[in-house]
Structure 1
Amino acid sequence: MSNELFEFEILKASRTRLLQLIETVDNKILFKIPENFNNNIVWQIGHCITSQQRHMYMRSGLPMHISQEFMETFKIGTSPHTWKSIPDVDEIKHLLLYTVNQLRKDLESGIFVKYAAFSLPIGITITNHLQALQAANFHEAEHYGIILSYLKLLN
């Protein structure tokens, strides 16, 4: 199994767990912001989708598989306090797996040929789509941990 395929399988497993979580947690909990925090579970999940799309597709000069509105709602620096409308949980559920399934097709077709390098806040420079996929897996694991903390605080 290539590194690319292995990294993809990690992302798919992570997204499947996030989907299971969002389908089993009450909507009130999904939208509640824990005391002393800025975001909620819905934002955490939407942010993971948005970051993966920006880092893999936008940086490769390719169209993202999310809307501009979705991206603006969940990009870094946003929070539920800045939302113009309440995000649709069904859209988030759909995008969790749609974007990862589309990524598989795009990896197989070889569309990732150029990349605009950038540095992550942790001091690592991403120079290609495989590194972006690896960074997405790290990033989503971080946010999954935050989500689990939110659940303990909110239940």
Structure 2
Amino acid sequence: MINERFECEILRASRTRLLQLMETSNYETLFKIPEGFNNNIIWQIGHCITSQQRHMYMRSGLPMYISKEFMESFKIGSSPGSWKITPDVNEVKHLLIDTVNHLESDLESKLFVNYEPFELPIGFQVKNHAQALQAANYHEAEHSGKIFTYLKLLLKE
């Protein structure tokens, strides 16, 4: 049995670190695509938020705390080249923490009852919301690594 509270603490710590990065980086750094890549820092962060919402809420048959437009901008297969509008940095900052607050409250309220299982690209099947939370933390760790690599590359330029 996983400790959902601990998993939320990990998620909050990861998101707080990303928020600090956003607050100490300029607009150009957040939106510039490093050479050899197809996404930027803001896409990586928005993608983490979108994936967590889709895997926790959408697959549980619950409304997400992100707009359809936000989801379209950051879902798998999207990129800054496909954006119809430039994402609002303040919205991304807000959602980084706000979605964790909602998640903690919704877990406490036992809101997650149903779940539509799915398979991760790495070959594991996610069968319930608790596993989706663990998978979200793994996924965010992967993307955080990319984000800090991007930052290092962009600061060298």
TM-score, scaled to structure 1: 0.98
Q: CA deviation at 1:75?
A: 0.1
Q: Give the partner amino acid of 1:36.
A: G
Please tell me the root mean square deviation across aligned C-alpha atoms, in Å: 0.6
Map of 1:71 onto structure 2: 71
Once the two structures are TM-superposed, the CA of residue 7 in structure 1 deviates from its matched residue by 0.6
User: In the TM superposition, what whole-angstrom CA distance separates every residue of 1:5-62 from its partner, at most 9, and x where no partner exists?
Assistant: 1111100111111101111011100000001100000000000000000000000000
* Per-residue CA distance 1:60-111 (angstroms, 9 max, x = gap): 0000000000000000000000000100000000000000000010000001
1:135 and 1:152 map into 2 onto residues whose CA distance is: 26
Which residues of structure 1 form unaligned runs of 5+? none
Counterpart position of 1:51: 51
Question: C-alpha distance in 2, partners of 1:67/1:85?
Answer: 13
Equivalent pairs counted in the alignment come to 154
Residue in structure 2 matched with residue 4 of structure 1 by the alignment: 4
Whichever residue aligns with residue 79 of structure 2, its letter is S
Consecutive unaligned residues of structure 2, counting only runs of 5 or more, are none
Determine the structure 1 residue equivalent to 2:118.
118
Q: 1:15 aligns to what SS in structure 2?
A: helix
Q: Kindly report which structure 2 residues correspond to 1:97-108, keeping only aligned pairs within 5 A, or say none.
A: 97-108=97-108
Aligned to 2:136: 136
Describe how 1:84-99 pairs up with structure 2 within 5 A. Answer: 84-99=84-99
The whole-number CA distance in structure 1 between the counterparts of 2:152 and 2:95 is 25
How many angstroms apart in 1 are the aligned matches of 2:98 and 2:152? 29
Deviations 1:87-136 (A, max 9, x none): 00000000000000000100000010110000000000000001000000
Question: Partners of 2:148 and 2:23 in 1: how far apart?
Answer: 15
User: What's the counterpart of residue 38 of structure 1?
Assistant: 38
| % identical aligned pairs | 71
